[in-house]
Amino acid sequence: MRFHVSGRLEYNVRFPSTMIFNVHAQRSPGQTILHERFTVEPDLHFEEFVIDSGGSRFVRLETGKKKMLQLSYEATVETSCEVVPANKLDYTPVADMDRRAIPYLFPSRYCQSDRLGRLAWDLFGKVANPYEKVIAVVDWIHENVEYLRGSTNSETSAYDTVTQRTGVCRDFAHLGIALCRALNIPARYFSGYAFQLEPPDFHACFECYLGGRWLVFDATRLVPLNGLIRIGTGRDAADAAVSSIFGRVQSTLMQVDCQLAPGQKFTPLERKQLGRKGISLDAKHATSTH
């Protein structure tokens, strides 16, 4: 599936600052960047880099004495998601899992899995199959947490959301991650562009490590999973923030868009169709299944 995505960010710079952006679509087995353009105005030196093998692409720059900053990213991205059948979704014992998945078992700033253990096992412990455990987590969040714009802030964590029961996509993701980690299933934060998200914005959901691969889940159910374009992954939103500011800068505009590329036809993948199948955004052979 081919998408055209774009993000436009504008800032007032109060004080010379360093900024780190994570808005580029990932380069990964399931995602090919056909075209992209990243511009900064005024013309500032910037550096693009990746931190680890996860593939998230960052840009950092120093504002110097500039007073205003405009960033623009646009890309055409070919994505292919893989529908993984039930018999490949077995639990991977901690003893066997890819060692790179292990850090995603540990608690993080917004996902205090260590404090949610008893609740997670009480609620989901009886579901034997690990994939269905995650589905049960996603369903529970969807039924018990209300999506309510403005109800949370940048300090809200899974420990709050599990009780306060409102939030936005970021909070839904954090709670999903925390509950899965509490169940010994590695889980990581996913930030991305999302087709059919209304109103258009950056989106967040989460991925779990099952059967030796990362599968994507979204407790908000706001968008079809095969319309996601991955930007970043990390332990939680602290790792995959659209922008991290070291200094004093004020956001004045954030404009996001995600469209089908010309000539494409999109069939949303619905949970019902999937049945007990999962969705991986890292389709191994880049053969788009949709």
Shortest CB 7 distance to a copy of itself, Å? 21
> Around Cβ 139, how many Cβ atoms within 10 Å?
14
Smallest CA-to-CA distance from 172 within 133, 145, 132, 148 is with 145
**Footprint (CB under 8 A) of a copy of itself, residues 210-239:** 235, 238-239
Judged by beta carbon, residue 129 or residue 259, the one nearer a copy of itself is 129
- Nearer Cβ to a copy of itself, position 99 or 265? 99
**Options 34, 68, 102, 253; binder of a copy of itself; rule CB under 8 A:** 102
Cα separation values, 125 from 140, 180, 183, 186, 187, Å: 13, 11, 8, 16, 17
Element (H, E) at 36: strand 31-41
Q: How far apart are CA 228 and CA 232, in angstroms?
A: 12
Q: One symbol per residue from 107 to 126: x for binding a copy of itself (CB under 8 A), - otherwise; what is it?
A: xxx-xx-xxx-xx--x----
The stretch near a copy of itself (CB under 8 A) out of 46-54, 191-199, 211-219, 265-273 is: 46-54
Minimum CB distance to a copy of itself, residue 108 (Å): 5
Among 18, 252, 267, 289, binds a copy of itself (CB under 8 A): 18
**Cα separation, 80 vs 183, whole angstroms:** 29
Which positions from 163 to 192 touch a copy of itself by CB under 8 A, shown as an x/- string? Answer: xxxx-----------------x--------
Please name which of 117, 114, 169, 113 lies closest in space to residue 138, comparing C-alpha atoms: 169
Residue 9 or 197 having the CB closest to a copy of itself: 9
95 is a site residue for a copy of itself (CB under 8 A) = yes
| Sign of the CA dihedral with 222 first, then 259, 58, and 35 last | positive
- Does position 246 bind a copy of itself by CB under 8 A? yes
Among 12, 35, 37, 52, binds a copy of itself (CB under 8 A): 52
Q: Do residues 78 and 288 lie in contact, with contact meaning Cβ atoms separated by under 8 Å?
A: yes
**How far, in whole angstroms, is CA 79 from its chain's centroid?**
15
Based on the shown chain and the rule CB under 8 A, indicate whether residue 37 belongs to the binding site for a copy of itself.
no
**Nearest-approach distance from CB 6 to a copy of itself, in angstroms:** 25
Q: How far apart are CA 258 and CA 195, in angstroms?
A: 5
**Residue 200 touches a copy of itself, criterion: CB under 8 A:** no
Cα separation of 285 and 123, whole Å?
Answer: 37
Q: Which residue has the tokens 């205003």?
A: 68
How many Å is the Cα radius of gyration of the chain? Answer: 19
Rounded Cα distance, 35 and 33, in Å: 6
> Which of 8, 60, 142, 277 touches a copy of itself by CB under 8 A?
60
Can you tell me which of 100, 196, 250, 267 binds a copy of itself, judged by CB under 8 A?
Answer: 100
Residues near a copy of itself (CB under 8 A): 18, 20, 47, 49-52, 58, 60-62, 93-95, 99-100, 102-103, 105-109, 111-112, 114-116, 118-119, 122, 144, 146, 154-155, 159, 162-166, 184, 235, 238-239, 244, 246
